[in-house]
Chain A
């Protein structure tokens, strides 16, 4: 007799626990407004990333094609992976003095871990983190980027 009571008790408990769980899933099945998923490639037009999101290192230029990079190489030292390489040149200034200026700011996106240490270490705020995250390419050579625009100059007043 005790066996039978136990048997039916187990069946009752099992059914009850399964129905409790089904109640939760049933709630979401009938409440379509509570769906949280986004269909990524379809929402590209409306998708905005957070302003601090680290997608890649970029060097902002103003309308006169001027940047703020003085070529101090603080970011190159701060980078743990060696993804930044700065090539400098000597430039003749109008007053006859020679000054160190950047020639090319080479950035290896394929080595970068987006740790933000270069941006934090920059004394003149020349580089920032961009929000672009779609980096897939067919040729890995295109991941080596030159951040300063051709014929760009150092912004006046930045030392």
Chain B
């Protein structure tokens, strides 16, 4: 580790090397960026990752198919439900079963609530990174209500582990529907507040408009997905293109923008919150009665073969690639995490901007570091 972190030095060309991180508030985790600067202008960035590597993929190889799902909550901890769902869907695909209709609906509602909570946190943190402390508290007010729903129904706030192969772990709590409706009403009343305090603010606009431009071609060639790519005009919403769970039964728009800058990424996420609210509204009153879990064997053994399932997390496309050799443990698991690809584009788009803009770019790409290292 000593070899990686060089002291801040001035090179022969007069460039100054600055180490941002691994412990820095604006990197949102233990990400280490080595930045070559000319004055204040960024010449080159080298991200160093691996500080929080826990070898989740290797660890999963010695766990059974029921057990390995819990570890994925620790990858993208702001979208634990969606990670768990991806694994459960992969196993269901291999077993050629489907979750019960009730489980599908609840999964979709919980995934969208997760997306709302994640976007709320992102909104607050973006404000915090750009110098506005107040939005953070307003964002956490709504997020806390969503966390309460998670706590009441799933039993945990962040690392829920509620999705099991064949459905959901337990039935929903009797208060679930009423609480969800309450939070939707609360969030719908706050849209204007969000716009007043952040979107229209002149300081915020000056720091994000025209900063960190990502072209459509770059977004495709770097494999960027999620709201970051959609802000550059790339249509890549898995919920639309490859519907899973109950997404084929709801109507929603894929938010696209051609701006490509930080402000466009901000707007895409703010509009996605509205879409999530509308998706939950369509489902919450129509949860079908019936079993919440499909019957599966005590020890799950998958047929020999390779299986791939992708889902849309708040940050982009998560792919689960699973190789089975017919035994009770997976032979190999590979996660295609959205944050790793999204980080790879950071050196390309931050080049030429000032060091203050780097914070804005990182905030709007919305990186979650444990998902990069896994």
Residues of A whose CB lies within 8 Å of any CB of B are 13-14, 17-18, 20-21, 23-25, 36, 49-50, 52-54, 78-80, 113-117, 120, 129
**How far is the CB of B77 from the nearest CB of chain A, in Å?**
12
Q: Report whether B161 and A50 are in contact in the complex, using a CB–CB cutoff of 8 Å.
A: no
Complex contacts, B221 vs chain A, CB 8 Å: none
Of listed B134, B154, B156, B200, residue having the most chain A CB within 10 A: B156
Residues of B whose CB lies within 8 Å of any CB of A are 63, 66-68, 70-71, 134, 138, 141, 144, 148, 151-156, 159, 161, 164, 169-170, 173, 193, 196-198, 200-203, 205
Q: Report whether A52 and B161 are in contact in the complex, using a CB–CB cutoff of 8 Å.
A: no
Q: Report whether A115 and B152 are in contact in the complex, using a CB–CB cutoff of 8 Å.
A: no
Complex contacts, B154 vs chain A, CB 8 Å: 52
Q: Report whether A80 and B71 are in contact in the complex, using a CB–CB cutoff of 8 Å.
A: yes
CB-nearest residue of chain B relative to A50? B152
Complex contacts, B169 vs chain A, CB 8 Å: 116, 120
**How far is the CB of B230 from the nearest CB of chain A, in Å?**
26
Q: Report whether A21 and B197 are in contact in the complex, using a CB–CB cutoff of 8 Å.
A: yes
Complex contacts, B170 vs chain A, CB 8 Å: 52, 120
Q: Report whether B67 and A116 are in contact in the complex, using a CB–CB cutoff of 8 Å.
A: no
* Bound CA span A53–B70, Å: 16
Q: Which 7 A-B pairs have the closest CB atoms?
A: A115-B70, A80-B67, A54-B155, A52-B155, A17-B202, A115-B161, A50-B152
Q: Report whether B196 and A24 are in contact in the complex, using a CB–CB cutoff of 8 Å.
A: yes
Q: Report whether B201 and A25 are in contact in the complex, using a CB–CB cutoff of 8 Å.
A: no
Q: Report whether B134 and A17 are in contact in the complex, using a CB–CB cutoff of 8 Å.
A: no
Q: Report whether A80 and B155 are in contact in the complex, using a CB–CB cutoff of 8 Å.
A: no
**How far is the CB of A129 from the nearest CB of chain B, in Å?**
7
- B201 touches which one: A17, A50, A54, A78 (CB < 8 A)? A17
Q: Report whether A36 and B144 are in contact in the complex, using a CB–CB cutoff of 8 Å.
A: yes
Complex contacts, A54 vs chain B, CB 8 Å: 155-156
Complex contacts, B70 vs chain A, CB 8 Å: 80, 113, 115, 117
Q: Report whether B159 and A23 are in contact in the complex, using a CB–CB cutoff of 8 Å.
A: no
Q: Report whether A129 and B196 are in contact in the complex, using a CB–CB cutoff of 8 Å.
A: no
With A21-B196, A23-B196, A116-B161 known as contacts, the answer to whether A52 contacts B202 (CB < 8 A) is: no
With A80-B70, A114-B156, A117-B66 known as contacts, the answer to whether A24 contacts B161 (CB < 8 A) is: no
Not counting A18-B203, A21-B196, a sample of 11 additional A-B residue pairs whose C-beta atoms are within 8 angstroms of each other reads A21-B197, A23-B196, A24-B193, A25-B134, A50-B148, A52-B154, A53-B151, A78-B67, A80-B63, A80-B67, A116-B169
Complex contacts, B153 vs chain A, CB 8 Å: 52
Complex contacts, B159 vs chain A, CB 8 Å: 113-115
Q: Report whether B202 and A18 are in contact in the complex, using a CB–CB cutoff of 8 Å.
A: yes
Complex contacts, A18 vs chain B, CB 8 Å: 201-203
* Bound CA span A107–B155, Å: 19
Complex contacts, B198 vs chain A, CB 8 Å: 21
Complex contacts, A24 vs chain B, CB 8 Å: 138, 193, 196-197
* Bound CA span A129–B155, Å: 9
**How far is the CB of A62 from the nearest CB of chain B, in Å?**
24
Complex contacts, A114 vs chain B, CB 8 Å: 155-156, 159
Q: Report whether B151 and A50 are in contact in the complex, using a CB–CB cutoff of 8 Å.
A: yes
* Bound CA span A116–B151, Å: 13
CB-nearest residue of chain B relative to A21? B197
**How far is the CB of B162 from the nearest CB of chain A, in Å?**
8
**How far is the CB of A6 from the nearest CB of chain B, in Å?**
14
- B202 touches which one: A14, A53, A80 (CB < 8 A)? A14
Task: Give 26 A-B contacts (CB < 8 Å), ordered by A residue.
Answer: A14-B202, A18-B202, A20-B201, A21-B196, A21-B197, A23-B196, A24-B196, A24-B197, A25-B134, A25-B197, A36-B144, A50-B155, A52-B153, A52-B170, A52-B173, A53-B155, A80-B63, A80-B71, A113-B70, A114-B156, A114-B159, A115-B161, A116-B161, A116-B169, A117-B67, A120-B169
With A18-B202, A24-B197 known as contacts, the answer to whether A52 contacts B141 (CB < 8 A) is: no
* Bound CA span A50–B179, Å: 13
Complex contacts, A36 vs chain B, CB 8 Å: 141, 144
- A20 touches which one: B66, B144, B196 (CB < 8 A)? B196
